[in-house]
Amino acid sequence: MQNRPIKHESLLYLLAFTLAITLRLTNLGTLSLGNTEAEWALQALSVAQGNRPLLGPQPAYILPTSLLFFLFGTSNFLARLIPVLAGIGLIFVPYMFRTRLKPIPSLLLTFFLVLDPGLVSLSRQAGSLMPALSSIFLTWAFWYQKRPRALGIFAGLALLSGSSVWAGLLSLGLALGLKWIFELPFANDKDQKKIPSEKAKQNFVSALGDDLKKPLIYIGATLLLGGTLFLLAPNGLSAWLNSLPVYLASWFQPSGVPASRLLFALLVYQPFALVFGLLAIVRGWWQEQRARLLLSLWFITGLILAMVYPARQVSDLVWALVPLWVLAAFELSSHSQILLKKNHQVAWVATLVVILLTFSWLVYAGIAINPNSAATNAISFGGVALPPTPYISLISVLLLLVVSILLIALGWSTQLARLGLVWGLTIAVGIYSLGISWGATGLRTSNGWELWWPEGRFSQADLVLRTVNDQSEWSTGHAHSQEVTLLELESPSLEWLLRDRKVTTVSTLDIQEAPAIVISTQNVGLNLTTAYRGQDFVWRQEPAWELLTRNDWIKWSVFREMRYHSETIIVWVRNDLFLDTSGSFPQ
């Protein structure tokens, strides 16, 4: 059934492409840049200004972004545009493999990659590993299509995409090595007859050398031109050469992110991929399907590497997600047939599954609204403590779903029950996935938190910028003329926010100086003879992981509400810059 043509296939791919653009571009510049994002954006800004800063090992992001800044000016939107383009490029990979994957799995995989919350979130983060992920898979796709020029270009871009590319190559290399080891039990006589002779091996090596010449030329040209922005930024090459040492050094730099958080993120954000992907793994090993064997090994090695990696972040899961989604696409496509004479019956079963799953989600959401109250409503029966009433309701609904499917299988047919369950799950979990994909954009709620974000959020950045701009305009007549001094405050995100004016970072202030505007943390005083007025702002909010309880996680899983540690900063403005102060403003 996977080989049959799909009606309106082109329109479905166009729909997926439109959805990908919508999720990745909508209000892209609304959220302020975090510290990690701002570090990359500031390097790009410095290059655009004609400087030669020390670049991080991701010239594939820094140099194109600097060109965008030079041509169109700076903005949060442009700072995040390169990862967006990389994320959209990844969407085309299943289409390029459609003759290998077959029409239905390739189309399903396209929509899976479009809606995956992790891929959506990383596509909207400046300096993320999305360019590395997309470049590796596009390189593979062009190799499959025998297009050496494009292969060489994207292989070069992959090498320029930062230290994370080595994690992806390592997981794939380990998977291929394990596949070679595990293939021995699956070998048969027919395979033994295919072992090439020595002459055939020599011919293969010679042909391989000829085939690699053109890609290697384009790889070299991409590294030389793309890694130096057409020779305008030669230090991009040193940044590229530093990517492997940076990755190796990261194995000795713990991030503090527990491995359990990666598993929790996988369960919350990718339940659909887990269910159908694990089914595909079991079926692949049971039926000795080599493609699924490789994909399952790739998923397992990618997951294990992400969990044992000391500098782990939740974003490292993406190297395991792509093979998991491919497995899920294969598994779901095997259930794509619908009995022509009984399709209405399948629809009724699927509707029943959707209704029961929706009701169970509403019960769970009710628990999340007030988890403490739900936990106190425990009951006992015959002296035996039972779960609280809301939890009993949730378990009852899920048991009703299981019993209903079993009765349908016994009363009608097993195939009917299976198809109805699969498509009911697909519809219900698909709606859930669309919702959390929108949440992964960061636009779901102003106080929410997504596990795919690498750091705290900056809730009052707009207020800080508006305050500084207003004071500058009142005193000089121009919103960006007044200088700002950062006192004992190392904050790339704040420097990016104030990038349109001169910003100076100091550890102490000279008592004889009187800077117009000073920004400091809450615990730092100015100790200057000149009078200042200050206003405090909530700057950075970091999740209070150590304070979270089980009830907090239940509430977060529905509403994304989180307990935070807040960092407060104070914007100090010299007294004579206010409109109600007598005297002339300094020019």
CA dihedral (383, 385, 390, 393) positive or negative: negative
**In the predicted model, is pLDDT for residue 358 greater than 60?**
yes
- Which amino acid would we find at residue 338? I
Predicted local distance difference test score (pLDDT) of residue 43: 94
Structure tokens at 333: 């496509």
> Tokens 């166009």 identify what position?
14
Kindly report, residue by residue over 76-94, the tens digit of the pLDDT: 999 999 999 999 999 999 9
> Using CA atoms in the order 66, 71, 72, 78, what is the torsion angle rounded to 10 degrees?
-30
Across the range 43-56, mean pLDDT stands at: 90
Kindly report, residue by residue over 296-305, the tens digit of the pLDDT: 999 999 999 9
* pLDDT band (50, 70, 90) for residue 373: low
Q: Give the count of beta carbons closer than 10 Å to the beta carbon of residue 379.
A: 11
524: which DSSP letter? -
Rounded distance between C-alpha atoms, residue 327 and residue 296, angstroms: 8
Kindly report, residue by residue over 97-154, the tens digit of the pLDDT: 988 888 889 999 999 999 999 999 999 999 999 999 999 999 999 999 989 999 999 9
C-beta separation of 377 from 388 below 8 A: yes
Rounded distance between C-alpha atoms, residue 31 and residue 460, angstroms: 10
Q: Which residue has the higher pLDDT, 210 or 281?
A: 281
C-beta separation of 168 from 319 below 8 A: yes
**Of 160, 106, 127, 103, the residue nearest 43 (C-alpha):** 127
**In the predicted model, is pLDDT for residue 225 greater than 80?**
yes
pTM score > 0.85 for this model?
yes
Strands 517-521 and 484-487: parallel
Q: Output b/e per residue, 462-499; b: 16+ Cβ within 10 A.
A: eebbebbbebbeebbeebeebebbbbebebbbbbbbbe
